[in-house]
């Protein structure tokens, strides 16, 4: 038997036979309550098991309430125990309840919690998430209810003009949960759209970058939390993309590699006769494409139709870092700053030398940039090393040194973050050199040969001594054989 309790302010919660719950960015609380009853039995331990989900808010009066049916509280003394998801508290008593026949229940509650008959209440803050246990302490000790409270934080990059996203920009979204139990997954999914995107999950956070958004992006992005395959919580964002690029500067991060590319959009609502793209990198500027010349080396544009003049760069090199500006006649219609990143390796065999992996960013401007090296472990990325780079940072490189290379150290990824949002990734796959295997096999073969020679020599020697012992007639002959080693060798063979 099950109930669905909800508190969304003026919002509603939908429930289907698939067990799916959906909300929006304004959702404040989702309750999923499972009451386990045992027919023919009295009150027993852990009769009430609850999972509660809410979106964390910093400045809010909204609260989460852990409700217990009055029939559960049959003892004379109870307490609430709390183990926080962030590890700050473990089995901490946050409320005690005592009652008697002569007076009303007495409460002793620790901040930031409040309570009343049959419930415990707290603000919808991220740090309040955790496991809450209601215990009866008198007359007998028993666990009456257990609540698992999950907190979520959902954010998006601030490339907005009101509620609109800049045309051509990258949109980064992140969804963080306070705890990932065994069997749980947290991931972003896009409804009905094939927009290029990059996803990354680590440290209880699902990141996604939607690249070069335009009007073709019609779907919404869903952050889905599943436990053993069952969808328990969903939050989503919906984007509204501007139709033009006039006076909308934005910043892109791109990997430089042989397979990388970037598309820059320049679009007007009115018709123009001329267009061009200029790249500026101190101290020079160069025209890349124009309505008269649509291709130059790695840079290309389609024929200008008076409204739309995108620039395609393929492949992206590390030196492509700079500001790309689009002009329609003398009017600036697009300005895109590109920061490039690259990954590399050095060292390694022969001789089992250390391997060094490097991640470099082309520049760091006003906003700090976080570089993070991650290694694939199983199906998830493990953070190995990270550093926050500032404009005054002496270098723009993050390195990791591997004393020796093993099979579980082959897949690496460098991630770039600004203000906690994923901006780009660059992958690096290491290989175990074949010469190392050959050297190992050669060494093993040489050792086998040496052992064989030693064994054969010892066998020949023993057989020779046995032959000598069996054939000696007397002491005089033995003495003569000692003086004639050549005859001994001939006889033994």
Sheet holding 63-67, edge to edge: 63-67, 119-123, 114-116
- Distance between CA atoms of 462 and 444, rounded to whole angstroms? 27
pLDDT confidence of residue 355: 92
Q: What is the DSSP secondary-structure string of 323-367?
A: EEEEEETTEEEEEEEEEEEEEEEEE--SSS--EEEEEEES---SS
Residues 92 and 189 in one domain: no
Q: Are 165 and 239 in contact (CB under 8 A)?
A: yes
Q: How far is CA 431 from the centre of its chain?
A: 23
Co-location of 102 and 225 in the same domain = no
Residue 256 lies in a domain: no
pLDDT digits (tens, 9 = 90+) for 193-230: 556 789 999 889 999 999 998 887 766 889 999 999 99
Question: Do 357 and 422 share a domain, yes or no?
Answer: yes
**How far is 445 from 417, CA to CA, in rounded Å?**
50
Examine the domain organization and report whether 167 and 192 are in the same domain. Answer: yes
In this structure, is residue 303 part of a structural domain?
no
pTM: 0.77
Shared domain for 425 and 440, answered yes or no, is no
12 lies in the same domain as 140: yes
Residue 11 lies in a domain: yes
Q: Is the pLDDT of residue 442 over 50?
A: no
Mean pLDDT along residues 406-412: 86
Domain boundary pick from 152, 187, 213: 152
Judge whether 49 lies within some domain: yes
The arithmetic mean of pLDDT across residues 233-247, rounded, is 89
Closest CA to 9 of 66, 50, 67, 61: 61
Q: Are 97 and 235 in a shared domain? A: no
Instruction: Provide, rounded to the nearest whole percent, the portion of the chain with pLDDT above 70.
Output: 72
Mean pLDDT computed over 265-288: 93
Q: Are residues 143 and 217 in the same domain?
A: no
Contact between 107 and 45 (Cβ < 8 Å):
no
Sheet containing strand 184-190, edge to edge, reads 184-190, 221-227, 230-237
With 0-12 / 13-18 / 19 or more C-beta atoms within 10 angstroms meaning exposed / middle / buried, residue 239 is buried
**What is the extent of the structural domain holding 406?**
340-429
Band of pLDDT at residue 105, cut at 50, 70 and 90: low
Looking up residue 419, the CATH number of its domain turns out to be 2.60.40.10
**Which stretches does DSSP call E strand in 367-462?**
369-377, 380-389, 397-402, 411-418, 421-429
| Per-residue pLDDT tens digits for 165-181 | 899 999 999 999 999 99
| 162: in domain | yes
The domain boundary, picked from 152, 174, 199, lies at: 152
Residue 288 belongs to some domain of the structure:
no
Choose among 51, 57, 64: nearest CA to 26.
57
Same domain flag for 60 and 171? no
Tell me what pLDDT residue 192 has.
64
């Amino acid at each position: 038997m099950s109930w669905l309790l909800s508190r969304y302010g003026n919002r509603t919660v939908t429930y289907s036979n698939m067990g799916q719950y959906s909300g929006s960015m304004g959702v404040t609380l989702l309750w999923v309550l499972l009451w386990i009853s045992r027919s023919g039995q009295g009150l027993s331990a852990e009769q009430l098991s609850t999972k509660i989900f809410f979106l964390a808010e910093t400045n809010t009066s909204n609260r989460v309430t852990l409700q217990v049916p009055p029939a559960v509280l049959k003892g004379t003394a109870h307490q609430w125990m709390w183990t926080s998801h962030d590890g700050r508290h473990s089995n901490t008593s946050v409320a005690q309840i005592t009652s008697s026949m002569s007076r009303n229940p007495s409460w002793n509650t620790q901040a930031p919690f409040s309570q009343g008959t049959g419930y415990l209440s707290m603000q919808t803050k991220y740090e309040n998430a955790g496991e809450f246990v209601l215990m009866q302490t008198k007359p007998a000790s028993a666990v009456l209810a257990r609540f698992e409270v999950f907190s979520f934080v959902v954010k998006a990059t601030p490339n907005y003009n009101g509620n609109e996203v800049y045309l051509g920009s990258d949109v980064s979204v992140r969804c963080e949960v306070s705890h990932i139990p065994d069997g749980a997954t947290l991931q972003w999914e896009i409804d009905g759209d094939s927009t290029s995107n990059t996803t990354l999950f680590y440290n209880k956070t699902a990141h996604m970058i939607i690249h070069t958004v335009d009007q073709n992006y019609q779907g919404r992005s869903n952050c889905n939390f599943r436990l053993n395959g069952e969808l328990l919580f969903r939050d989503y964002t919906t984007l509204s993309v501007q139709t033009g690029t006039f006076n909308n500067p934005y910043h892109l991060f791109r990997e430089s590699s042989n397979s990388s590319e970037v598309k820059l959009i320049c679009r007007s609502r009115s018709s123009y006769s001329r267009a061009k793209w200029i790249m500026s990198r101190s101290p020079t500027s160069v025209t890349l494409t124009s309505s008269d010349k649509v291709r130059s080396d790695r840079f290309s544009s389609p024929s200008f139709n008076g409204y739309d003049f995108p620039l395609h760069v393929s492949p992206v090199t590390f030196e492509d870092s700079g500001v790309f500006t689009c002009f329609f006649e003398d009017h600036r219609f697009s300005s895109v700053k590109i920061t490039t990143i690259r990954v590399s390796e050095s060292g390694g065999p022969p001789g089992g030398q250390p391997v060094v992996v490097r991640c470099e960013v082309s520049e760091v401007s006003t906003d700090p940039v976080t570089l993070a090296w991650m290694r694939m472990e199983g199906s998830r990325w493990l953070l190995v090393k990270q550093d926050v780079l500032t404009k005054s940072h002496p270098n723009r490189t993050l390195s990791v040194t591997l004393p020796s290379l093993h099979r579980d150290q082959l897949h690496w990824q460098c991630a770039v973050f600004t203000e906690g949002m994923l901006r780009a990734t660059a992958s690096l796959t290491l290989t175990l050199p074949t010469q190392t295997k050959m050297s190992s096999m050669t060494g093993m073969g040489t050792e086998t040969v040496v052992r064989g020679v030693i064994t054969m020599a010892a066998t020949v020697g023993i057989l020779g001594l046995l032959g000598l012992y069996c054939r000696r007639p007397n002491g005089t002959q033995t003495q003569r054989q000692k003086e004639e080693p050549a005859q001994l060798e001939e006889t033994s063979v």
